[in-house]
Amino acid sequence: MEWSNENILAFLDFYEAESIVWNSGHNDHKNRNLVYDAWKRIERNMGGRYSVAETDKCNKCRTEKSYVVLRRKDVYCKNCFLTGTIHKFKALLGKSRLVRPNDKVLIYHKIGHPSTALLHFLRTGLDLNTPKKIRFEIDVLFIEDQYQLTVDERQDVIKKIKEEVTAFGFKIHFIPFIKYISDNSISEIMEYDNLHISGNDESKLLANFEKISNTNKNEIMNLMKRRLLVDVAKHLDCKFIFLPDTSVETASNLLSNMSLGRGCHVPFDTGFCDDREDVKILRPLRLFDMKELAFLQQI
């Protein structure tokens, strides 16, 4: 980043005014939140000619230029950010000590950064040549329920999902949600070649819930998807299901359960492991936020 002499002098004036940044004797010098706020004031005063992310050094290595700012104060370079996110994912799995070598795991794949990041973490762990290598077997499931889209758009989504998952080297299964509700059968409807998309799928789905309130409808659909995941996992002999739920979904589930009077279910619906079924449901991304996973996809 190259500045003119005018910009340098302006920056020095604003920097000198924020003694909390440079004066180690300041009472709040060690308060990272207040120091970061001071840097942001300098940024605003510079009128866009300066960004905190451009000049801050990585909090981890203290040498490389920053790449991402998390939680308004944690600044990391690309290498430290990538290493830290992978370590956080593997540490959460490792501390639980639930998944054993050669266990089969079903990955619930959705559209968005969390699901792609989950595949990235798993592929990275499988490719390691260290004792910390991931050693379980993986199958991926995508539930086709994009009824707000046209038939052509839904087919395009399915094609892109298949390309994305196979690019990571995983096998993917597709199930139309409406077909499961109608037939409640797994073996005949979970293959890509048997996937049938119709323009009246949404009307068929709504016909099953026409006399149910929106709140109850969403709750029932979530329960049916959960049942579908468990049925597919049992059909494939998987002991675990990985959900791509981030910290936002976890907080949303907490508030929803409390508002619906389901407080006793909070530990299962928001915790790392839900063991109410024979197949355990895990949330390995529950400590990640969307910003972390979005930046991960840009590296």
Query: Closest Cα partner for 180 from 224, 234, 242?
Result: 224
Q: Does the structure show a pLDDT above 60 at 106?
A: yes
More confident residue, 292 or 139: 139
Instruction: For residue 204, give the H/E element and its range.
Output: helix 201-207
Q: Assess whether pLDDT exceeds 70 at residue 191.
A: no
User: 192: Cβ–Cβ under 8 A, 6 or more apart, which residues?
Assistant: 158, 162, 172, 173, 174
Q: Which two tokens mark 1?
A: 């980043």
Q: Output the CA angle 78-79-80, nearest 5 degrees.
A: 95
135 pLDDT tier (thresholds 50, 70, 90) = confident
Q: What's the pTM value of the predicted model, to 2 decimals?
A: 0.76
Instruction: Quote the pLDDT of residue 238.
Output: 93
Which of the four pLDDT bands, split at 50, 70 and 90, describes residue 291? confident
DSSP of 12-41, one letter per residue?
HHHHHH-HHHH-TTSTTTT-HHHHHHHHHH
What integer pLDDT is reported at residue 184 of this predicted model?
65
Query: For the ranges 30-34, 137-141, 158-162, 224-228, which has the lowest average pLDDT?
Result: 30-34
φ/ψ of residue 140, rounded to 5: -120, 140
pLDDT on residue 161? 92
What is the set of domains in the chain, with CATH numbers? 5-78 (no CATH), 81-298 (3.40.50.620)
Q: Which of the given ranges, 127-131, 142-146, 188-192, 258-262, has the highest pLDDT on average?
A: 142-146
Give mean pLDDT, residues 75-84.
Answer: 86
